[in-house]
Structures are given as C-alpha cells and as structure tokens.
Amino acid sequence: MADTDLLFMSATKAAALIRARKLSPVTYTRAVLAAMESAQPRLNCFVTIMADQALADAQRAEDAVMAGEPLGPLHGVPVHIKDLVDVAGVRTTHGTAIFADNVARADDILVTRLRQAGAIIVAKTTTPEFGNKGLTEGPSFGITRNPWNTERTPGGSSGGAAAAVAAGLAPLGLGTDGAGSVRGPAACCGLVGLKPTLGAVPYDTTRDAFGNNIYAGPLSRTVTDAAIMHTVLSGATAKDPWTQGGEDRRQLSPGLIGQDLSAIRIGYVERCANPRVAADMRANTLASLDAWAGLGAEVEEVTDAIDWIELEGRILYQSNFSVFCAPFLPKWQNQMDPVTLAFMQRGATFSLADFRNAQFARTALFRQIQTLFERYDFLVMPTHSRTALPVGFDAANDEVEVDGVKCGITRQGWTSYQYPFNLTGHPAISIPSGFGTDGLPTGIQVVGRWGQDTDVMRFASLLELTRPWAQHRPKAA
C-alpha cells in the first residue's frame, strides 16, 4: 500500500485491517509520524509531536493484536489532541506563553477514553491563545496554515487538528468548540466536525460547569469516523453536571433508517446574524439541500424573525476573557495575543446587567430554536458565509469581505452560523458541501434536536453518500 493511501485511509478501515492482522500499528504510526515531521515546517499544526511515546504505545497495541486480546474500536489508530486538553507528561500550553512550561500530570478524561478504545496519541495540535478566535495563529507559536492553500487559515480554534487531518496526518483529531471551533475548521479544511449536544460528551475542565458553552468533538474525513470517536468520548462523569442522568438518546429515529427521507422536514436558514452569504457558498448549500430532497426530504426556508443574539453572545464571550485572564496581565501582557487583550478590554466595559441580560437572551434563543424543531427535523445552513480567510487576518478589528462587501468582524460576517448553537446546546455537524470559486472547501451545517446526535450524523452521512467527498486531497498532501 502506498504511503499516501495509508495516510488518507479512514480510521474505520485502518482499525479493521489492524484487527485482521493486515496492518501493523507500528508501521502505521511510523508512517504518520514521518508525514507529520515532513509537513510541520509548511503547516505548523503541532505544538508537540510525541514520537517516542507513540511508537511505544503502537508496539503495545501490536503485541495485543498478536496475543489475541480484546481490542477497542480505535485500536492502533493514531489520534492527535488539541492543546487545550491534557495528555499526561506532555505540555498543555493553551496556545500561550503563560503556560509554555505547563506539563500535565494526568490524562484528561477524554484522552483516557481514547486510550481505552485503543487509540495511539501521537501529538498535541495548535490552538490560538485560550482558543480565542476563528484563526489558528498567535505570538507564542506563529501561524498554522491551511493545507488546501497555505495563504489561508485552517480556521480556529481547532485549526491545528483540522489542518493535520486534512493533510493526512492521522485520521482523527480531538477538537474543542466554544463558538464554532470544531465546525469552522472542518469547513475551512474539507472535513467533518461535530459539536455534540450539551452534556453528551463531558467537559470536565470548564470554569463554569453550569453555564458551559464549550464542547469536545471529533475532526475526521468521514462521518463514520466521527461517529465512532463520538461514541468513545460520550458518557457521564462526576465533574460535569450536564452529563448527569437523563435518558439515553443514542438510538436512531425510524425515519432515518433507510435512504427514503420522505418523513423528514428540513428548515433551511440562509442567514443568521450575517448580512450576506457568498454566492458560491449559497450555491453549494442549495445543491446539498437538493441532494436530500432527491431522497424525499421536504425543504422549506425558515422565515421566522429570530434574534441570533450576536451582541449578547459577544458580551458573554468577551466578559469571560476579561475576568479569567485578568490575573495574567501584570506579568504576561506583553507576550499575550493582541486579540485576547482587545477582547478583555471590550469585555471590561460590560456591566453586570449587560451580562445577566445576555444570559437571559441565551435562554430566549434556546426556546426559539426549540419552537423551530416543532416544525422541522433538522435545520440546515452554510457553516461559514465564505471560504477560509487569509492568514494574518485581525480577528479583533478587520471586517470580513463577502463577495467584495465588508460585513463586520468575524462573529458578524463569517462565523455567525456557528456560535448560536454553542449557546443553545443543540447538536451541530459541519460536512463538506463542495468547493468555492477560489478552490477552497465549503461546508454545510446540520443542526438537530437536543440529544439526537445520532440522527444528525446519520442525516449527514446520507449527504456524504450522495455527494462523496473523502476522495479529495490537498494537492501538496
């Protein structure tokens, strides 16, 4: 098997070959590590490459196969971890000089679950400072680049993971999503990215467990790979209150069992808080809707007047940075990302009343979306208003241009389809929808009812089946 075919193999197929003793975990891991070392100078998507530990773990995985031991669903499969998540004995820098020497004492629960499933942890991937923006770059590690075009961003804040998976540097990456940080990079890089329902996957390290809007999810080249990784990550922990109790909603709705979608109603949302959507992005979204309609689904444009609470969402987001980063300023201000400092400065101007009213608006938005799901099985929209932005874009101040028209900062003009569902908690997945006129990937987002992550992934997989994507590879990969 050629190295390129091995590198772009799905995690599902690789695990099957390993179980059948047709693929050596050591050989596989060596190929991935070699490709990572080769691509790192061009893409800059890794903070730490764990070559020695990964090869030792791969040897143990191979020994387990040969000994006939029980094997997990990701046995022998290389996976990398975003550098906001702890891996024992490895730095967790959070993308900032403040934590440049912060070595984790223990694995995060999600890393523990991946290891229990047999995954080989191969690296930590780049993130902007504290995952602060939709581009992956910063003063502490430089610029991470998109493998489809290195003058464009891979998105953020899970941009390192997305660039790596898109370039064939492991089939799976663990990302986190606080305002679109898994789905945005997936769309920029031509991948699948899942933000699960609030509480489906634990996030034990969030500072505000009860007001949480941060999620962990997979980045992959296929929906099946994302679904397997999601299953591995899911389940309650004692530290995340949203994972406690409740019914098991992992079963598939009957109307999605086959390929006849006659029972399914889709609500198409052309714009959220953004004033424009690019013509190529809109065309690819409509083509995807036509594919689902061709399987029998009914498509209707959502015309409800919805307040997407862009300002209130920004109040919550920037106030958070203002408070939790304040202790770092006396020592670290000169080494912090200017975007972080700008968010902190703006966040400090909001009052307690502003913050509480923003929390009330979050509840109102949730209820509006719940009302839509009384009529629709899924909400579908573009993942971005346009393709990936240029590297070096100032996320705090620059205005996003859509078809030559300035449309506001990134939350207003580019990522406005993403952050609302961090606030409402509904499951949302981004899947490839085609290419833009600039040759870069475009993405489409599917949002489902609370707890119906399985339905969202199944629905996405039917688009993947009718409009296959995973065969596409960046030219330089």
User: How many CB atoms sit inside 10 A of residue 106's CB?
Assistant: 11
pLDDT-derived band at 452 (thresholds 50, 70, 90) equals very high
Interval 327-356 mean pLDDT: 98
pLDDT, residue 477, reads 55
HEC per residue, the chain: CCHHHHHCCCHHHHHHHHHCCCCCHHHHHHHHHHHHHHHHHHHCCEEEECHHHHHHHHHHHHHHHHCCCCCCCCCCCEEEEECCCCCCCCECCCCCHHHCCCECCCCCHHHHHHHHCCCEEEEEECCCHHHCCCCCEECCCEECCECCECCECCCCCCHHHHHHHHCCCCCEEEEEECCCCCHHHHHHHCCEEEECCCCCCCCCCCCCCCCCCCEEEEEECCHHHHHHHHHHHCCCCCCCHHHCCCCCCCCCCHHHCCCCCCCCEEEECCCCCCCCCCHHHHHHHHHHHHHHHHCCCEEEECCCCCCCCHHHHHHHHHHHHHHHCHHHHHHHHHHCCHHHHHHHHHHCCCCHHHHHHHHHHHHHHHHHHHHHCCCCCEEEEECCCCCCCECCCCCCCCCCEECCEECCCHHHHCCCCCHHHHHHCCCEEEEEEEECCCCCEEEEEEEECCCCHHHHHHHHHHHHHHCCCCCCCCCCC
pLDDT of residue 300: 98
Q: Is the pLDDT reported for residue 350 higher than 70?
A: yes
Please identify which of the residues 82, 124, 133, 195 carries the catalytic annotation. Answer: 82
In sequence order, what are the residues at sequence separation of 6 or more whose Cβ sits closer than 8 angstroms to the Cβ of residue 34? none
Question: Of the residues 24, 140, 158, 181, which is catalytic?
Answer: 181
195-222 residue pLDDT tens: 999 999 999 999 999 999 999 999 999 9
pLDDT of residue 279: 98
Please give the pLDDT value at position 476: 65
Looking at the DSSP assignment, which residues form a beta bridge with residue 401? 406
Mean pLDDT, range 304-310, rounded to an integer:
97
Per-residue pLDDT, averaged over 453-463, amounts to 98
The pLDDT value recorded for residue 246 is 66
pLDDT band for position 4 (cuts 50, 70, 90): confident
Q: Tell me the pLDDT tens digit for each residue of 40-80.
A: 999 999 999 999 999 999 999 999 999 999 999 999 999 99
CA distance 374 to 139: 46
Q: Which residue ranges form the domains of the chain, and what is each CATH number?
A: 3-466 (3.90.1300.10)
End-to-end CA distance of the chain: 16
Task: Read off the pLDDT band of 245 (50, 70, 90).
Answer: confident
- The pLDDT of residue 416 is 98
Residue 351 designated active-site: no
Check 140, 157, 234, 433 and give the catalytic one: 157
Q: Which residues contact 374 (CB under 8 A, 6 or more apart)?
A: none
82 annotated active-site:
yes
- Give pLDDT, residue 118: 98
Alpha-carbon distance of 175 to 219, in angstroms, equals 7
pLDDT of 105-127, one tens digit each? 999 999 999 999 999 999 999 99
Residue 3 has pLDDT above 90, yes or no: no
Share of the chain above pLDDT 70, in %: 98
Cα separation, 354 vs 311, in Å, equals 10
Q: Give the confidence band of 182 by pLDDT, cuts at 50, 70, 90.
A: very high
The verdict on pTM exceeding 0.85 is yes
What whole-number distance in Å separates Cα of residue 29 and Cα of residue 275?
Answer: 46
Q: Confirm whether 181 is a catalytic residue.
A: yes
CA angle 293, 294, 300 (to 5 degrees): 10
Tell me the pLDDT tens digit for each residue of 252-306.
Answer: 999 999 999 999 999 999 999 999 999 999 999 999 999 999 999 999 999 999 9
Token code pair at residue 220:
């992959």
Residue type, 162: A
